[in-house]
Protein backbone atom coordinates (compact mmCIF):
# COMPACT_ATOMS: atom_id res chain seq x y z
CA UNK A 1 0.00 0.00 0.00
CA UNK A 2 1.32 3.42 -0.90
CA UNK A 3 1.48 5.76 2.06
CA UNK A 4 -0.08 9.11 1.23
CA UNK A 5 -1.16 12.07 3.37
CA UNK A 6 -4.74 11.03 2.72
CA UNK A 7 -4.16 7.48 4.00
CA UNK A 8 -2.48 8.85 7.11
CA UNK A 9 -5.42 11.16 7.85
CA UNK A 10 -8.08 8.53 7.17
CA UNK A 11 -9.18 6.75 10.33
CA UNK A 12 -7.90 3.21 10.71
CA UNK A 13 -11.47 1.99 11.18
CA UNK A 14 -12.15 3.41 7.70
CA UNK A 15 -9.16 1.71 6.09
CA UNK A 16 -6.47 4.31 6.82
CA UNK A 17 -3.08 3.67 8.39
CA UNK A 18 -3.12 3.56 12.19
CA UNK A 19 -0.97 6.06 14.07
CA UNK A 20 1.01 3.17 15.58
CA UNK A 21 1.97 -0.24 14.24
CA UNK A 22 1.58 -1.90 17.65
CA UNK A 23 -0.80 -1.40 20.54
CA UNK A 24 0.25 1.02 23.29
CA UNK A 25 -1.40 -0.22 26.52
CA UNK A 26 -3.04 2.20 28.93
CA UNK A 27 -0.74 1.01 31.72
CA UNK A 28 2.30 -1.23 32.12
CA UNK A 29 4.83 -2.24 34.77
CA UNK A 30 8.54 -1.38 34.60
CA UNK A 31 10.89 -4.08 35.91
CA UNK A 32 14.68 -3.81 35.78
CA UNK A 33 17.60 -6.06 36.67
CA UNK A 34 17.82 -4.75 40.24
CA UNK A 35 14.18 -5.79 40.79
CA UNK A 36 14.89 -9.26 39.42
CA UNK A 37 18.03 -9.74 41.50
CA UNK A 38 16.21 -8.66 44.68
CA UNK A 39 13.53 -11.30 44.06
CA UNK A 40 16.12 -13.95 43.23
CA UNK A 41 18.02 -13.19 46.45
CA UNK A 42 14.84 -13.66 48.46
CA UNK A 43 14.07 -16.91 46.67
CA UNK A 44 17.48 -18.13 47.83
CA UNK A 45 16.92 -16.98 51.40
CA UNK A 46 15.35 -18.77 54.38
CA UNK A 47 12.16 -16.73 54.24
CA UNK A 48 9.72 -16.66 51.33
CA UNK A 49 6.92 -15.26 53.47
CA UNK A 50 6.41 -13.89 57.02
CA UNK A 51 10.09 -12.95 57.00
CA UNK A 52 12.33 -9.85 57.27
CA UNK A 53 11.56 -8.28 53.90
CA UNK A 54 8.00 -7.52 55.04
CA UNK A 55 9.02 -5.25 57.91
CA UNK A 56 11.69 -3.65 55.73
CA UNK A 57 9.17 -2.76 53.05
CA UNK A 58 6.60 -1.52 55.55
CA UNK A 59 9.12 0.70 57.34
CA UNK A 60 10.39 2.21 54.08
CA UNK A 61 6.83 2.79 52.90
CA UNK A 62 5.78 4.46 56.16
CA UNK A 63 8.82 6.74 55.94
CA UNK A 64 8.00 7.69 52.35
CA UNK A 65 4.36 8.54 53.07
CA UNK A 66 4.99 10.23 56.41
CA UNK A 67 2.80 7.75 58.32
CA UNK A 68 3.68 6.19 61.66
CA UNK A 69 2.58 2.72 60.61
CA UNK A 70 2.31 0.81 57.33
CA UNK A 71 0.78 -2.68 57.14
CA UNK A 72 1.15 -4.73 53.96
CA UNK A 73 -1.49 -6.98 52.38
CA UNK A 74 -1.80 -9.45 49.55
CA UNK A 75 -3.78 -6.98 47.42
CA UNK A 76 -5.32 -3.54 47.50
CA UNK A 77 -8.70 -5.21 47.91
CA UNK A 78 -7.47 -7.14 50.95
CA UNK A 79 -6.15 -3.86 52.35
CA UNK A 80 -9.55 -2.23 51.85
CA UNK A 81 -11.28 -5.14 53.56
CA UNK A 82 -8.92 -4.94 56.52
CA UNK A 83 -9.47 -1.19 56.82
CA UNK A 84 -13.24 -1.67 56.74
CA UNK A 85 -12.99 -4.27 59.51
CA UNK A 86 -10.68 -2.07 61.57
CA UNK A 87 -13.07 0.88 61.21
CA UNK A 88 -15.75 -1.21 62.89
CA UNK A 89 -18.01 -1.74 59.90
CA UNK A 90 -20.49 -4.56 60.46
CA UNK A 91 -24.12 -5.53 59.89
CA UNK A 92 -26.41 -2.56 60.39
CA UNK A 93 -23.69 -0.04 59.56
CA UNK A 94 -23.15 2.14 56.51
CA UNK A 95 -20.18 3.69 54.77
CA UNK A 96 -20.35 6.57 52.29
CA UNK A 97 -18.25 6.38 49.13
CA UNK A 98 -18.05 7.45 45.50
CA UNK A 99 -19.88 5.60 42.74
CA UNK A 100 -17.06 6.46 40.32
CA UNK A 101 -14.51 3.90 41.43
CA UNK A 102 -13.47 0.31 41.00
CA UNK A 103 -15.94 -2.08 42.63
CA UNK A 104 -13.48 -3.09 45.38
CA UNK A 105 -14.02 0.22 47.19
CA UNK A 106 -17.68 -0.56 47.76
CA UNK A 107 -17.30 -4.33 47.97
CA UNK A 108 -15.13 -4.07 51.08
CA UNK A 109 -18.14 -2.60 52.88
CA UNK A 110 -20.30 -5.52 51.78
CA UNK A 111 -17.68 -7.99 53.01
CA UNK A 112 -18.45 -6.68 56.49
CA UNK A 113 -22.23 -7.05 55.96
CA UNK A 114 -22.54 -3.27 56.02
CA UNK A 115 -24.16 -1.13 53.33
CA UNK A 116 -22.23 1.07 50.87
CA UNK A 117 -24.03 4.40 50.43
CA UNK A 118 -23.03 6.33 47.34
CA UNK A 119 -22.79 10.11 47.12
CA UNK A 120 -22.15 12.10 43.95
CA UNK A 121 -18.78 13.49 42.90
CA UNK A 122 -17.49 17.03 42.32
CA UNK A 123 -17.73 18.14 38.68
CA UNK A 124 -14.07 19.19 38.42
CA UNK A 125 -12.04 16.40 40.05
CA UNK A 126 -14.66 13.61 39.98
CA UNK A 127 -13.78 12.92 43.62
CA UNK A 128 -16.38 12.45 46.35
CA UNK A 129 -18.22 15.75 46.94
CA UNK A 130 -18.05 16.55 50.68
CA UNK A 131 -21.44 18.30 50.61
CA UNK A 132 -23.05 15.31 48.93
CA UNK A 133 -21.40 13.01 51.47
CA UNK A 134 -22.75 15.13 54.33
CA UNK A 135 -26.27 14.82 52.94
CA UNK A 136 -26.08 11.01 53.14
CA UNK A 137 -24.99 10.69 56.78
CA UNK A 138 -27.43 8.80 59.00
CA UNK A 139 -27.25 7.35 62.54
CA UNK A 140 -26.00 4.14 60.86
CA UNK A 141 -22.99 5.77 59.17
CA UNK A 142 -19.66 4.50 60.48
CA UNK A 143 -17.12 5.49 57.82
CA UNK A 144 -16.43 7.61 54.75
CA UNK A 145 -14.36 6.17 51.89
CA UNK A 146 -13.18 8.95 49.57
CA UNK A 147 -11.34 7.87 46.42
CA UNK A 148 -8.34 9.70 44.96
CA UNK A 149 -9.65 9.41 41.41
CA UNK A 150 -6.88 9.06 38.80
CA UNK A 151 -4.33 10.10 41.42
CA UNK A 152 -5.85 13.47 42.35
CA UNK A 153 -6.29 13.57 46.14
CA UNK A 154 -9.84 13.81 47.44
CA UNK A 155 -10.92 16.94 49.32
CA UNK A 156 -9.81 15.54 52.65
CA UNK A 157 -10.09 18.56 54.97
CA UNK A 158 -13.90 18.93 54.82
CA UNK A 159 -14.30 15.15 54.81
CA UNK A 160 -12.21 14.81 57.96
CA UNK A 161 -14.11 17.69 59.56
CA UNK A 162 -17.35 15.93 58.72
CA UNK A 163 -16.03 12.70 60.20
CA UNK A 164 -14.98 14.42 63.42
CA UNK A 165 -18.42 15.98 63.89
CA UNK A 166 -20.13 12.61 63.51
CA UNK A 167 -17.55 10.27 65.05
CA UNK A 168 -16.69 8.54 61.77
CA UNK A 169 -13.54 6.88 60.41
CA UNK A 170 -12.11 8.13 57.10
CA UNK A 171 -10.60 5.40 54.91
CA UNK A 172 -8.92 7.07 51.94
CA UNK A 173 -8.74 4.82 48.88
CA UNK A 174 -5.43 6.08 47.50
CA UNK A 175 -4.87 3.14 45.16
CA UNK A 176 -4.24 5.72 42.42
CA UNK A 177 -2.33 8.24 44.48
CA UNK A 178 0.98 6.98 45.86
CA UNK A 179 3.27 10.02 45.92
CA UNK A 180 0.49 12.57 45.58
CA UNK A 181 0.42 15.59 47.88
CA UNK A 182 -2.54 17.25 49.59
CA UNK A 183 -1.99 20.75 51.00
CA UNK A 184 1.71 20.09 51.39
CA UNK A 185 1.27 16.68 53.04
CA UNK A 186 1.94 13.27 51.58
CA UNK A 187 -1.10 11.16 50.80
CA UNK A 188 -0.93 8.40 53.39
CA UNK A 189 -0.39 10.75 56.31
CA UNK A 190 -3.70 12.62 56.28
CA UNK A 191 -6.69 10.26 56.65
CA UNK A 192 -7.34 7.92 59.58
CA UNK A 193 -6.38 5.03 57.29
CA UNK A 194 -5.09 5.22 53.72
CA UNK A 195 -5.14 2.28 51.31
CA UNK A 196 -2.67 1.75 48.46
CA UNK A 197 -2.43 -0.80 45.65
CA UNK A 198 0.67 -2.33 44.03
CA UNK A 199 -0.99 -3.80 40.95
CA UNK A 200 1.34 -3.74 37.90
CA UNK A 201 -0.24 -0.59 36.40
CA UNK A 202 0.32 1.42 39.59
CA UNK A 203 3.27 3.69 40.46
CA UNK A 204 5.18 0.78 41.98
CA UNK A 205 4.33 -2.89 41.85
CA UNK A 206 4.73 -6.05 43.89
CA UNK A 207 2.78 -8.06 41.29
CA UNK A 208 -0.31 -7.97 43.45
CA UNK A 209 -0.24 -6.28 46.83
CA UNK A 210 -1.53 -3.47 48.98
CA UNK A 211 -0.77 -1.38 52.04
CA UNK A 212 -2.65 0.50 54.74
CA UNK A 213 -1.00 3.46 56.43
CA UNK A 214 -2.20 4.96 59.70
CA UNK A 215 -1.00 7.01 62.65
CA UNK A 216 -3.26 5.07 65.02
CA UNK A 217 -1.34 2.26 66.82
CA UNK A 218 -4.54 0.39 67.72
CA UNK A 219 -5.62 0.41 64.07
CA UNK A 220 -2.16 -0.89 63.07
CA UNK A 221 -2.38 -3.73 65.58
CA UNK A 222 -5.83 -4.77 64.36
CA UNK A 223 -4.73 -4.58 60.72
CA UNK A 224 -1.77 -6.87 61.40
CA UNK A 225 -3.93 -9.42 63.20
CA UNK A 226 -6.67 -9.31 60.58
CA UNK A 227 -4.24 -10.19 57.76
CA UNK A 228 -2.91 -13.17 59.75
CA UNK A 229 -6.06 -15.19 60.54
CA UNK A 230 -6.74 -13.01 63.59
CA UNK A 231 -3.67 -14.44 65.35
CA UNK A 232 -1.96 -12.14 67.85
CA UNK A 233 1.63 -13.09 66.94
CA UNK A 234 3.49 -13.87 63.73
CA UNK A 235 5.55 -16.93 62.80
CA UNK A 236 8.88 -15.10 62.69
CA UNK A 237 8.28 -13.61 66.14
CA UNK A 238 7.56 -17.07 67.58
CA UNK A 239 10.60 -18.59 65.93
CA UNK A 240 12.88 -15.82 67.21
CA UNK A 241 11.51 -16.27 70.73
CA UNK A 242 11.68 -20.08 70.54
CA UNK A 243 7.95 -20.32 71.25
CA UNK A 244 5.15 -22.32 69.67
CA UNK A 245 2.06 -20.95 71.42
CA UNK A 246 -0.26 -18.57 69.55
CA UNK A 247 -3.77 -17.26 70.06
CA UNK A 248 -6.52 -16.32 67.61
CA UNK A 249 -8.17 -13.21 69.03
CA UNK A 250 -10.39 -12.14 66.11
CA UNK A 251 -11.77 -13.64 62.90
CA UNK A 252 -9.25 -12.70 60.25
CA UNK A 253 -8.02 -13.87 56.86
CA UNK A 254 -4.79 -14.97 55.21
CA UNK A 255 -4.08 -11.62 53.56
CA UNK A 256 -0.29 -11.65 54.04
CA UNK A 257 2.07 -10.25 51.42
CA UNK A 258 5.09 -12.48 50.78
CA UNK A 259 8.76 -11.66 51.25
CA UNK A 260 9.17 -12.30 47.52
CA UNK A 261 6.68 -9.54 46.74
CA UNK A 262 8.13 -7.23 49.39
CA UNK A 263 11.64 -7.65 47.97
CA UNK A 264 10.28 -6.36 44.67
CA UNK A 265 8.42 -3.58 46.47
CA UNK A 266 11.55 -2.39 48.27
CA UNK A 267 13.39 -2.00 44.98
CA UNK A 268 10.39 -0.44 43.24
CA UNK A 269 9.98 2.13 46.02
CA UNK A 270 13.49 3.41 45.30
CA UNK A 271 12.27 4.41 41.82
CA UNK A 272 9.07 6.12 42.95
CA UNK A 273 10.40 9.67 42.60
CA UNK A 274 11.57 9.07 39.04
CA UNK A 275 8.28 7.34 38.19
CA UNK A 276 6.26 10.26 39.55
CA UNK A 277 8.40 12.79 37.72
CA UNK A 278 7.86 11.00 34.41
CA UNK A 279 4.10 10.66 34.91
CA UNK A 280 3.81 14.35 35.74
CA UNK A 281 5.86 15.21 32.69
CA UNK A 282 3.53 13.15 30.47
CA UNK A 283 0.45 14.73 32.07
CA UNK A 284 1.82 18.23 31.45
CA UNK A 285 2.44 17.41 27.77
CA UNK A 286 -1.06 15.98 27.39
CA UNK A 287 -2.68 18.97 29.07
CA UNK A 288 -0.80 21.46 26.90
CA UNK A 289 -1.82 19.61 23.74
CA UNK A 290 -5.48 19.12 24.64
CA UNK A 291 -5.85 22.74 25.61
CA UNK A 292 -5.90 23.35 21.85
CA UNK A 293 -8.73 20.86 21.22
CA UNK A 294 -12.06 22.34 22.37
CA UNK A 295 -13.87 19.00 22.10
CA UNK A 296 -11.57 17.46 24.73
CA UNK A 297 -11.81 18.39 28.41
CA UNK A 298 -8.52 17.74 30.21
CA UNK A 299 -8.60 16.65 33.88
CA UNK A 300 -8.75 19.47 36.42
CA UNK A 301 -6.09 19.98 39.09
CA UNK A 302 -6.89 21.97 42.20
CA UNK A 303 -4.32 24.52 43.36
CA UNK A 304 -3.56 22.84 46.71
CA UNK A 305 -2.67 19.36 45.42
CA UNK A 306 0.01 17.63 43.38
CA UNK A 307 -1.56 14.60 41.69
CA UNK A 308 0.24 11.31 41.15
CA UNK A 309 -1.40 10.58 37.74
CA UNK A 310 -2.33 6.92 37.84
CA UNK A 311 -4.17 7.45 34.57
CA UNK A 312 -5.11 10.47 32.49
CA UNK A 313 -8.90 10.75 32.04
CA UNK A 314 -10.23 13.07 29.37
CA UNK A 315 -13.89 13.93 28.97
CA UNK A 316 -15.43 14.45 25.55
CA UNK A 317 -17.56 17.50 24.89
CA UNK A 318 -20.38 15.70 23.15
CA UNK A 319 -22.20 18.91 22.28
CA UNK A 320 -19.30 20.12 20.15
CA UNK A 321 -18.14 16.72 18.96
CA UNK A 322 -21.49 15.18 17.98
CA UNK A 323 -20.08 11.69 18.54
CA UNK A 324 -20.55 9.36 21.46
CA UNK A 325 -17.79 7.96 23.63
CA UNK A 326 -18.10 4.50 22.09
CA UNK A 327 -17.32 5.78 18.61
CA UNK A 328 -14.27 7.72 19.78
CA UNK A 329 -13.08 4.79 21.93
CA UNK A 330 -13.32 2.34 19.04
CA UNK A 331 -11.55 4.72 16.67
CA UNK A 332 -8.67 5.27 19.11
CA UNK A 333 -8.25 1.54 19.67
CA UNK A 334 -8.05 1.06 15.92
CA UNK A 335 -5.20 3.58 15.89
CA UNK A 336 -3.44 1.21 18.34
CA UNK A 337 -3.92 3.48 21.32
CA UNK A 338 -4.93 1.26 24.23
CA UNK A 339 -7.50 3.56 25.78
CA UNK A 340 -9.70 2.41 28.63
CA UNK A 341 -12.69 3.69 30.62
CA UNK A 342 -12.57 4.34 34.38
CA UNK A 343 -15.10 3.50 35.65
CA UNK A 344 -18.49 2.02 35.07
CA UNK A 345 -20.27 3.55 38.10
CA UNK A 346 -20.54 0.88 40.78
CA UNK A 347 -24.30 1.24 41.16
CA UNK A 348 -24.70 0.41 37.44
CA UNK A 349 -23.29 -3.11 37.85
CA UNK A 350 -25.90 -5.88 37.77
CA UNK A 351 -25.12 -7.08 41.30
CA UNK A 352 -25.69 -3.62 42.78
CA UNK A 353 -28.75 -2.96 40.64
CA UNK A 354 -30.36 -6.21 41.77
CA UNK A 355 -29.41 -5.90 45.42
CA UNK A 356 -30.08 -2.20 45.98
CA UNK A 357 -32.56 -1.36 43.23
CA UNK A 358 -30.48 1.32 41.50
CA UNK A 359 -32.05 2.43 38.23
CA UNK A 360 -29.64 5.13 37.11
CA UNK A 361 -29.97 8.88 37.42
CA UNK A 362 -29.29 8.90 41.17
CA UNK A 363 -25.84 10.51 40.78
CA UNK A 364 -25.99 12.80 37.74
CA UNK A 365 -22.43 14.17 37.88
CA UNK A 366 -20.80 10.74 38.07
CA UNK A 367 -23.14 9.29 35.46
CA UNK A 368 -22.61 12.14 33.00
CA UNK A 369 -18.85 11.86 33.45
CA UNK A 370 -18.96 8.13 32.78
CA UNK A 371 -20.66 8.68 29.43
CA UNK A 372 -17.84 11.03 28.38
CA UNK A 373 -14.73 9.53 29.97
CA UNK A 374 -11.80 7.94 28.17
CA UNK A 375 -8.53 7.07 29.94
CA UNK A 376 -5.44 7.66 27.83
CA UNK A 377 -2.22 5.65 28.24
CA UNK A 378 -0.26 6.78 31.28
CA UNK A 379 2.73 4.92 32.67
CA UNK A 380 6.25 5.93 33.53
CA UNK A 381 7.80 3.65 30.90
CA UNK A 382 6.23 5.59 28.02
CA UNK A 383 8.67 7.18 25.57
CA UNK A 384 8.29 10.70 24.20
CA UNK A 385 7.23 9.13 20.91
CA UNK A 386 4.54 7.11 22.69
CA UNK A 387 3.16 10.34 24.16
CA UNK A 388 3.18 12.08 20.79
CA UNK A 389 1.44 9.08 19.21
CA UNK A 390 -1.40 9.40 21.73
CA UNK A 391 -1.77 13.12 21.06
CA UNK A 392 -1.67 12.58 17.29
CA UNK A 393 -4.32 9.86 17.53
CA UNK A 394 -6.65 12.01 19.63
CA UNK A 395 -6.22 14.92 17.21
CA UNK A 396 -6.86 12.62 14.24
CA UNK A 397 -9.98 11.01 15.68
CA UNK A 398 -11.48 14.23 17.03
CA UNK A 399 -10.80 15.99 13.73
CA UNK A 400 -12.64 13.26 11.86
CA UNK A 401 -15.72 13.42 14.04
CA UNK A 402 -15.65 17.21 14.03
CA UNK A 403 -15.57 17.28 10.22
CA UNK A 404 -18.20 14.54 10.00
CA UNK A 405 -20.77 16.77 11.69
**What values do phi and psi take at 28, rounded to 5?**
-165, 145
**Could you give the C-alpha distances from 11 to 324, 331, 333, in angstroms and in order?**
16, 7, 11
CB 90 within 8 A of CB 113: yes
Of 202, 218, 270, 396, which one is the catalytic site residue?
A: 202
Residues in the chain: 405
For residue 281, count other CB atoms closer than 10 A to its CB. Answer: 15
H-state helical runs in 87-150: 103-111, 130-135
CB 378 within 8 A of CB 282: yes
Nearest to 53 by CA among 41, 64, 67, 63: 41
CB 307 within 8 A of CB 152: yes
For residue 22, count other CB atoms closer than 10 A to its CB. Answer: 8
Distance in angstroms (rounded) separating the CA atoms of residues 258 and 31 = 18
202 is annotated as an active-site residue: yes
Distance in angstroms (rounded) separating the CA atoms of residues 231 and 269 = 29
- For 184, residues 6+ apart whose C-beta sits below 8 A from its C-beta are none
DSSP β-bridge partners for residue 71: 212
Q: What is the DSSP string of 60-73?
A: HHHHHHT-SEEEEE
Task: Give me the active site residues, please.
Answer: 202
Amino acid sequence: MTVTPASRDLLAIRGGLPVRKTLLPYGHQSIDEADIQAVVATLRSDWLTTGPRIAEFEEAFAARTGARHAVSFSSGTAALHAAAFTAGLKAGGEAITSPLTFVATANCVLYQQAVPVFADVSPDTLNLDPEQAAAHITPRTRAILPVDYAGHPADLTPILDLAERHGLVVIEDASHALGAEYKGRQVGSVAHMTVFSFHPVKHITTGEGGMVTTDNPKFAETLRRFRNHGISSEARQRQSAGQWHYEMVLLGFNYRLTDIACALGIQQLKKLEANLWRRRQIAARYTAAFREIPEVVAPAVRHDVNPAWHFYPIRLDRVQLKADRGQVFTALRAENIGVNVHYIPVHHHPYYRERFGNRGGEFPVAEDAYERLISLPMFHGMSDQDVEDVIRAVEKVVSHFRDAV
